Structure 1
């Protein structure tokens, strides 16, 4: 075997191992044992502990004394009123400059009429992508600080992200950009959408840089008011809380599919190759945005 062939074989093996690791994590976070991760339930607490264990194992540090930032949930039958966002920080080479917040929500719909709503795509997929990206950023530090935010209670009115922007762990004027991942694993529509560039046009060239090497189809849109109800995603997930504060955002997500908010949203419905491709694009996007973060902040002001 030639050296070139050997190196290629090693690359393929590493790639397969990465995909397997991503799928293993997705299966763990979207397992029946998590009971649908509804905010304020025992399943949510287990999911939170799992994410914290992953962050701890990779060496990602909390911002304060704990990864958990408590939030108050509205009273609902069968649920506690205490929840928590999970927040970690990847130090950048310039830790006094602007900050990028990379986010996903770990809650889902819980158990309804005896059926578990595992939410593999919505949004265990975004959380696992964040963990994968975090590991790489820890190995090769970014230029600027990256805050990882795993939000609670997105499904009940984006409670976690609203609490975050109202009491951020860093001065809010330092937050230059939010990249939010919510439903990035299903290939039913055969494309990943990037929303937010109509609100901040200077972000589109940055996203296009990442899209050039993407293994999955990247489309731009779902962010203008002329769309029919439900097709403008500006307010559809946790990036809306940042947008309300004037912070630019890029939202990555797929079109709704047959298992959206249904008990069939399970990990075995995910195409590993497509999901790996969306994770790779998200990583490339974070790198491209990090390189231009100071520019994004100046133009947003």
Structure 2
């Protein structure tokens, strides 16, 4: 019985690796999405004459709330790292990058593959959390996804980031992860769409602007840690990291900032000023035992900060974190704050 179970786990692990990275991407993945009832991404790809190609109006005008609706749909099964649900999210994000003509950092491939250990789910203070399963040595594939806009100085890069994974299915229930962290992903995508439009109109940034969507944040910031250890962008060229996590609940103008890096003070002030301009208050606080992917950049000398809604813990890591809990007005304000900060740092 034990040998049979081991065989099945190995077979499942191989299938998890082969299917997501050889079959799902591209048109086949889109067809699968329609069969499973996943909401349409409504993307039109770039068009043009000769060698001049531009993103479509529909691709540029897509809003953050549409991304949140898509990523938190039940058919993505909570986007747990290393599952088919995460792969569906990756395919969706890849479509957005392609539609915006964003540049890749690795051999014309947006994905950065890595592996993650098996995890056990635990309920702690009413929140579902992951802990490594020390009894299981099977590792499964996961992936970050990165792209960017080239600036006039290609030797400096500002990273905008958010984790796109969530908890998946636990005790038979889907954890949608609308606020945590489809909201952060949606905001970064909406800001990038605006920057792409401006670049198309001739307003290029002074430096590169990269977008990074991290996997396996819920399992201990594994995706961002992997990037820091295996950077697709030289760490010495990264001037700052603005990370968005759980940004769309609570009072519209109330946010907090997390940063454990001593080099982040100027970045923190830039974010606070971007908040003031938009009628919001961003308070720099200690997360205590809580962190997001900004923590992975501690010790690198790279300023890194995470913006969150002040009431981010409400319904966090529960089945109630669904689209109805997302405040669309706050989602838009978050986009405006991040956009303003980018303008100060990269234009």
The TM-score with structure 1 as length reference comes to 0.81
Q: By percentage of residues, which structure has more strand?
A: 2
1:241-256 residue pairs with structure 2 within 5 A? 241-254=296-309, 255-256=311-312
Residue deviations 1:29-70 (CA, integer Å, cap 9, x gap): 111011000001110110111111111112112112211110
SS at match of 2:147: strand
Give the number of aligned pairs.
264
Aligned twin of 1:7: none
| Equivalent-residue separation in structure 1 for 2:319 and 2:326 (angstroms) | 14
Aligned twin of 1:66: 109
Aligned twin of 1:264: 320
| Equivalent-residue separation in structure 2 for 1:194 and 1:60 (angstroms) | 28
CA RMSD, Structure 1 to Structure 2 (Å): 2.3
Residue deviations 1:245-264 (CA, integer Å, cap 9, x gap): 22111210123333100011
* Larger deviation, residues 139-148 vs 110-119: 139-148
Task: State yes or no: 1:92 paired with 2:151.
Answer: yes
1:136-147 residue pairs with structure 2 within 5 A? 136-140=194-198, 141-147=204-210
Aligned twin of 1:161: 224
Task: State yes or no: 1:49 paired with 2:113.
Answer: no
Contact 2:116/2:142 (<8 A) preserved = yes
Higher relative contact order (CA 8 A, sep 6+): 1
Contact 2:228/2:297 (<8 A) preserved = yes
Aligned twin of 2:248: 185
1:206-217 residue pairs with structure 2 within 5 A? 206-215=270-279, 217=280
- Provide structure 1 residue ranges, at least 5 long, that are not aligned to the other structure: 1-16, 224-230, 292-301
In terms of Rg, which structure is larger?
2
SS at match of 2:233: coil
How many angstroms does 1:197 deviate by?
A: 8.6
The TM-score with structure 2 as length reference comes to 0.71
Change (3 A) 1:105 1:146: same
Residue deviations 1:231-255 (CA, integer Å, cap 9, x gap): 437x601111112322111210123
| Equivalent-residue separation in structure 2 for 1:21 and 1:204 (angstroms) | 26
